[in-house]
Amino acid sequence: MNRSFPVFLALWLSVPSIGAAQLRVPRDARDAIEVGTAPSRGSSVASGRAAGIVDAPFEDVRRVVLDYARYDTFMPHFRTSRVLAQRGARASVYMEVGILRDTVTLWARLDVRSREVNGKTVVEARMTQGNMDAFYARWELEPIEGGRRTLARFRILVDPDLPAVPDSLLESENAKSARRAIVRLRRRLAAIRG
């Protein structure tokens, strides 16, 4: 792997003035995934975040990410994902996930909204009801190389109502889940494309 890619991607993600047209990703870095944590508003638990290149056309990636009913086919820990109602760019989605090595089941009703921002697709999900203190997820998809590939960013906060579990463990799981989401999105696109 090209060792300069993580530094390059970190700088690129932190500088909003650099556009996708200027993005030059080395071919041997296409499997790299940048992973980290970020403070979360309203929670003592940090969210996990990840960014990586998906070697699939932007429209194909967008179609998978907007298909909320099939999140259980690729999202880490998802057992169930069901669209309860959808109108335009807004949906109500029920989901169940297994955490802590599948020993705890979490559920939530999510308000999911998608929008287009400067050529990017942004999808945000917030818990409206559930057995967690907080849940938030955000996809940001950006076409690169003329739309032949996609830069995917994912952020997730799972803050279950489990007082005995230390925040550091939850933060570690959030970061791992963010990374796995990018990995599994890549696998899902590879399977679809055959």
In the numeric block, the tokens 């796995």 are attached to 180
| Cα(147)–Cα(144) distance, integer angstroms | 5
Q: Using 50, 70 and 90 to split pLDDT, how confident is the model at 29? A: low
Q: Which has the closest alpha carbon to 179: 75, 82, 103?
A: 75
Residue 40 belongs to a domain = no
Residue 17 belongs to a domain = no
pLDDT at 185: 97
pLDDT at 159: 93
Q: Which has the closest alpha carbon to 20: 163, 116, 119, 162?
A: 119
- Is 50 exceeded by the pLDDT of residue 60? yes
| Cα(165)–Cα(169) distance, integer angstroms | 7
pLDDT at 162: 86
Residue 42 belongs to a domain = no
**Host domain of residue 159:** 47-193
Q: Which has the closest alpha carbon to 20: 172, 178, 149, 161?
A: 149
Count each helix (H run) and each strand (E run) in the chain, helices first. 3, 8
The whole-number average pLDDT for the span 21-26 is: 39
- Is 90 exceeded by the pLDDT of residue 7? no
Residue 5 belongs to a domain = no
- The domain that holds 75 is classified in CATH as 3.30.530.20
pLDDT at 99: 80
| Cα(163)–Cα(185) distance, integer angstroms | 32
**164 or 20, which is more confident?**
164
| Cα(152)–Cα(184) distance, integer angstroms | 12
Measured in residues, the chain has a length of: 194
pLDDT at 30: 59
Q: What is the pLDDT of residues 145-184, one digit of tens each?
A: 999 999 999 999 999 988 888 999 999 999 999 999 999 9
In the numeric block, the tokens 């890619």 are attached to 5
Q: What is the pLDDT of residues 68-126, one digit of tens each?
A: 999 999 998 899 999 999 999 999 999 999 887 788 899 999 999 999 999 999 999 99
How many domains, the chain?
1
The whole-number average pLDDT for the span 51-63 is: 97
Residue 176 belongs to a domain = yes
